[in-house]
């Protein structure tokens, strides 16, 4: 009886509080009711949302009915204990009250959401009943119904049968208005759930998962509320109404169909506040007080980083398609007839990851990043005997072959780029070492009518940066500059991406091509000192999708472009954006308890290490001071975490340190003679230097050395690109 009284009192408070939203209830339900035990549930969402139970308790005691039920001497503590005793006391919750109460320090979540959770979760029902109660509780509260007898009866009437929702709606004259919040416009059997990727003061990133529990494929199109201004979105086409705060999204070519009994996924980042960053901390004379999570003391030395640098470069040799193989003795040549379907020798180049496709976009990005690290931290490479430069030569030689620049150097109308070799589906359906591939390996190209500005801009960056990194080879550098100018002219003249279609989602550029054209232009300016390229870089960057609250990566190179523009111009607009970006990574992003800055489940270590590289390049520009120290400390903390200074006491670099991975998602190193991902049990060869994806959440232990888990155990040339540069930076800066 006491439990029912509490429920009714809470419902009274629901009706007087801010109206709950589907967005908040969905988040609450996923975080709480689908997590067991309750210690993982309640503490999770109050920790993320900053709930203050003391504040809710005070509001509760302001209600007349509460005062009539509890004596005058009742305290907030009495109320909090009542919540625990009556509503959240589940047997598996051993630590219970003390555990989650200690986590609650700030107040941000709507009271109504908390109360609604109490209403729907109070009776300790199973998952199906709780889902139905969540639905009805939301509708009841949003329609302002004040009939407490109805509330009690509704909670008693709901059962696990999905039809009980519609029956209850009809019996109590309620209208399902939830479709105004989250609408499935095609295929109403789809289930939409939201998880928070990152959250900071002024913004957030969400992942949306669209589940299709039916036996039929469904073309999806959804509307969901987003309380913020979206500035980047991936894996979907979308429109956003900033007035109604409604996001309308549909799938891109490769994920527009929600497959039967499967899921589709997309995500976005949005800002909730506008920050004036006109004046930097240094301009205001303020000290940099950025603090990072406390982690274990690292013992890694320059000698350790030097060893890791050599191993990381060795990974690129392992990714070679056709050889030669000097240190990676176990690789065999493959793809020797690549390009024969178009009459061009396209042997060579890097396989992008654990498969056998050659994609120009991530390959050009990766070699640009290697070139940049050689340019920025060249002394670190002196101990490698030219091995780093060998890797860049190999990729650049291939990229030069893929560009057919036509006869007229001033007119790109007859230019073409062979941007991909290998069909994604056919390749991914085969599991075996590359030399065993027998499937057709078609060549895909873009032209003046079938455009691919993303690829052209990235290739221009690769050639121009290569000309700087390999300047001692004057003839080769001159060739690279000539090709960089022409391929950039092609991408700039024929802007678009309608010809870049064969990646099937593997490397589709969701950020658009303005960032790549800016990236190519700024590297061309550095290679030629021609002012027109600097002006182009500024112009294209101003039109590019912002990635301040994301990371530099193969798809969006805005942050790296901005860093180079700051080094060139010293303009405050670029410094301000850089400071905002690194402030987010050092104090706004989610951190694991062990100190990893966690951005996204897919290649979490790739994002952290690439940001570490940019931080070191930025620190090098600053040369000293508090901000310099913060940037270097951040970078070292991320690299040391990767090398083993983490709660797992395990390295994430294959072939290095304690307990490194041995089963990456990599066909060549697995070397299955039966072409089965499960045989042999362990990979036959050690893929030295490869950086695996890493933890899939902000939980240090959310990682398994499992070959079939390509999210956590994929390896890729772009993963190692920023990591290699960061390690080189720590060597050169003597850290």
43-69 pLDDT tens trace:
333 333 333 443 333 333 344 443 444
Q: Does 351 share its domain with 479?
A: yes
Q: Does 193 share its domain with 309?
A: no
Q: What is the pLDDT of residue 686?
A: 95
Bridge partners, residue 466, by sequence: none
297 part of a folded domain: no
How many other β-carbons are positioned within 10 Å of the β-carbon of residue 254? 15
262-287 pLDDT tens trace:
777 787 777 774 433 333 333 333 33
Q: Does 257 share its domain with 372?
A: no
Report residue 510's pLDDT band, with 50, 70 and 90 as the boundaries: confident
CATH number at residue 193: 2.60.40.290
Report residue 154's pLDDT band, with 50, 70 and 90 as the boundaries: low
Q: Over 60: is that where the pLDDT of 111 sits? A: no
Residues that are catalytic: 355, 665, 670, 705, 714
Q: What is the pLDDT of residue 166?
A: 73
DSSP 264: E
| Domain closes at, from 177, 197, 222 | 177
Q: Does 587 share its domain with 690?
A: yes
Percent of the chain with pLDDT over 70: 70
Q: Does 358 share its domain with 447?
A: yes
Using CA atoms, how far apart are residues 730 and 722, in angstroms rounded to an integer?
A: 12
Q: What is the pLDDT of residue 98?
A: 32
Please, what is the Cα angle at 58 between 53 and 63, to 5 degrees?
Answer: 125
Q: Number of structural domains, the chain? A: 3
Using CA atoms, how far apart are residues 404 and 344, in angstroms rounded to an integer?
A: 10
Average pLDDT of span 526-533: 97
Q: Over 90: is that where the pLDDT of 70 sits? A: no
Report residue 153's pLDDT band, with 50, 70 and 90 as the boundaries: low
218-219 and 257-258 strand pairing: antiparallel
Percent of the chain with pLDDT over 90: 56
Report residue 730's pLDDT band, with 50, 70 and 90 as the boundaries: very high
Q: Over 60: is that where the pLDDT of 95 sits? A: no
Q: What is the pLDDT of residue 175?
A: 58
Task: Give Cα 679 distance to the centre of its chain.
Answer: 31
Average pLDDT of span 321-349: 96
Q: What is the pLDDT of residue 524?
A: 98
Q: Over 70: is that where the pLDDT of 570 sits? A: yes
289 part of a folded domain: no
661-701 pLDDT tens trace:
999 999 999 999 999 999 999 999 999 999 999 999 999 99
Say which residue, 393 or 96, is predicted with more confidence: 393
Please, what is the Cα angle at 59 between 176 and 138, to 5 degrees?
Answer: 10
Average pLDDT of span 139-167: 60
Say which residue, 166 or 495, is predicted with more confidence: 495
337 part of a folded domain: yes
637-663 pLDDT tens trace:
999 999 999 999 999 999 999 999 999
Most confident of 86-95, 257-266, 688-697: 688-697
Q: What is the pLDDT of residue 134?
A: 57
Q: Does 316 share its domain with 437?
A: yes
* Helix (H) or strand (E) run with residue 480 in it: helix 474-493
Q: Over 90: is that where the pLDDT of 290 sits? A: no
The three state secondary structure string of 141-181 is: HHCCCCCHHHHHHHHHHCCCCCHHHHHHHHHCCCCCCHHHC
| Domain closes at, from 150, 177, 204 | 177
Report residue 228's pLDDT band, with 50, 70 and 90 as the boundaries: confident
284 part of a folded domain: no
Say which residue, 69 or 105, is predicted with more confidence: 69
Say which residue, 246 or 705, is predicted with more confidence: 705
Q: Does 107 share its domain with 140?
A: yes
Answer whether 318's CB lies under 8 Å from 328's CB: yes
Q: Does 52 share its domain with 112?
A: yes
Q: Which long-range contacts (CB under 8 A, 24 or more apart) does 355-358 make?
A: 355/427, 355/428, 355/667, 356/321, 356/422, 356/427, 356/430, 356/434, 356/437, 356/441, 356/667, 357/420, 357/421, 357/422, 357/423, 357/424, 357/427, 357/506, 358/321, 358/398, 358/420, 358/421, 358/422
599 part of a folded domain: yes
Q: What is the pLDDT of residue 14?
A: 30
Q: What is the pLDDT of residue 535?
A: 98
Q: Does 545 share its domain with 639?
A: yes
293 part of a folded domain: no
Q: Does 166 share its domain with 196?
A: no
Task: List the single range of 586-590, 597-601, 724-728 with lowest mean pLDDT.
Answer: 586-590
Using CA atoms, how far apart are residues 99 and 40, in angstroms rounded to an integer?
A: 10
Q: What is the pLDDT of residue 162?
A: 60
512 part of a folded domain: yes
Distances (CA, A) of 439 to 429, 503, 674: 10, 17, 16
439 part of a folded domain: yes
Which residues form the domain of 162?
Answer: 2-177
| Domain closes at, from 130, 147, 177 | 177
Kindly report the pTM of this predicted structure. Answer: 0.65
Q: What is the pLDDT of residue 253?
A: 60
CATH number at residue 502: 1.50.10.10
Using CA atoms, how far apart are residues 527 and 513, in angstroms rounded to an integer?
A: 21
Average pLDDT of span 571-592: 94
Q: Does 683 share its domain with 699?
A: yes
Q: What is the pLDDT of residue 274?
A: 42
Q: Over 50: is that where the pLDDT of 425 sits? A: yes
Q: Does 360 share its domain with 237?
A: no
């Amino acid at each position: 009886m006491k439990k029912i009284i509490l429920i009714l009192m809470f419902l009274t408070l629901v009706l007087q509080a801010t109206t709950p939203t589907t967005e908040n209830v969905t988040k609450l339900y996923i975080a709480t009711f689908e997590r067991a035990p309750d210690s993982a549930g309640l503490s999770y969402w109050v920790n993320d949302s900053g709930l203050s139970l003391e504040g809710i308790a005070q509001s509760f005691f302001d209600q007349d009915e509460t005062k009539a039920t509890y004596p005058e001497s009742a305290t907030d503590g009495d109320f909090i204990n009542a919540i625990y005793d009556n509503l959240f006391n589940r047997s598996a919750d051993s630590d219970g009250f003390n555990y989650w109460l200690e986590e609650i320090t700030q107040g941000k979540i709507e009271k109504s959401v908390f109360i609604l959770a109490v209403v729907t979760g109070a009776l300790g029902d199973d998952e199906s009943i709780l889902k139905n109660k969540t639905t009805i509780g939301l509708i009841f509260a949003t329609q302002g119904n004040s009939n407490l007898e109805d509330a009690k009866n509704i909670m008693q009437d709901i059962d696990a049968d999905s039809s009980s929702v519609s029956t209850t709606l009809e019996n109590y004259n309620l209208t399902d208005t939830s479709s105004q919040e989250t609408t499935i416009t095609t295929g109403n059997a789809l289930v939409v759930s939201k998880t928070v990727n990152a959250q900071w003061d002024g913004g957030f990133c969400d992942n949306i998962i669209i589940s299709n529990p039916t036996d039929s494929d469904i073309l999806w199109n959804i509307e969901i509320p987003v309380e913020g201004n979206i500035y980047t979105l991936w894996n979907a086409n979308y429109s956003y109404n900033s007035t109604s705060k409604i996001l309308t999204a549909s799938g891109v070519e490769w994920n527009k169909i929600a497959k039967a009994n499967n899921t589709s996924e997309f995500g976005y980042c949005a800002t909730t506040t506008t920050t004036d960053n006109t004046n930097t901390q240094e301009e205001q004379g303020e000290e940099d007080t950025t603090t990072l999570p406390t982690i274990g003391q690292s013992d890694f030395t320059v000698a350790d980083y030097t060893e890791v640098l050599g191993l990381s470069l060795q990974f690129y040799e392992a990714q070679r398609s056709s050889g030669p193989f000097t240190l990676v003795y176990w690789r065999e040549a493959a793809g020797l007839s690549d390009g024969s379907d178009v009459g061009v020798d396209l042997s060579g180049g890097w396989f992008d990851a654990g498969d056998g496709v050659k994609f120009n976009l991530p390959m050009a990005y990766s070699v640009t990043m290697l070139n940049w690290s050689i340019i920025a931290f060249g002394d670190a490479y002196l101990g490698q005997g030219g091995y780093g430069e060998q890797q860049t030569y190999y990729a650049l030689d291939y990229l030069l072959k893929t560009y057919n620049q036509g006869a007229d150097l001033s007119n790109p109308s007859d230019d073409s780029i062979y941007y991909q070799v290998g069909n994604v589906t056919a390749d991914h359906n085969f599991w075996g070492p590359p030399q065993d591939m027998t499937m057709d390996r078609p060549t895909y190209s873009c032209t003046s009518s079938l455009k691919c500005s993303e690829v052209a801009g990235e290739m221009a960056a690769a050639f121009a940066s290569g000309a700087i990194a390999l300047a001692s080879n004057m003839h080769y550098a001159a060739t690279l500059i000539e090709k960089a100018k022409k391929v950039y002219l092609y991408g700039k003249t024929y802007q678009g991406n309608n010809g870049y279609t064969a990646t099937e989602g593997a490397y589709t550029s969701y950020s658009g091509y303005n960032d790549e054209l800016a990236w190519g232009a700024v590297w061309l300016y550095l290679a030629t000192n021609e002012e027109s390229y600097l002006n182009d870089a500024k112009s294209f960057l101003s039109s590019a999708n912002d990635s301040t609250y994301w990371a530099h990566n193969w798809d969006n190179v805005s942050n790296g472009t901005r860093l180079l523009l700051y080094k060139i111009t010293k303009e405050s607009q670029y410094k301000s954006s850089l400071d905002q970006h690194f402030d987010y990574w050092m104090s706004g992003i989610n951190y694991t308890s062990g100190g990893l800055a966690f951005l996204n489940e897919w290649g979490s270590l790739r994002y952290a290490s690439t940001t570490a590289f940019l931080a070191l390049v930025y620190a090098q520009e600053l040369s000293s001071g508090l901000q310099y120290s913060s940037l270097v400390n951040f970078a070292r903390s991320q690299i040391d975490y990767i090398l083993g200074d983490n709660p797992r006491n395990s390295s994430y670099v294959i072939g290095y340190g304690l307990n490194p991975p041995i089963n990456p998602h990599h066909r060549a190193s697995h070397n299955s003679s039966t072409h089965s991902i499960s045989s042999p049990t362990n990979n036959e060869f050690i893929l030295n230097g490869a950086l695996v994806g890493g933890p899939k959440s902000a939980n240090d232990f959310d990682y398994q050395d499992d070959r079939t888990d390509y999210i956590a155990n994929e390896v890729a040339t772009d993963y190692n690109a920023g990591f290699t540069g960061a390690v080189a930076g720590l060597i050169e800066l003597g850290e």
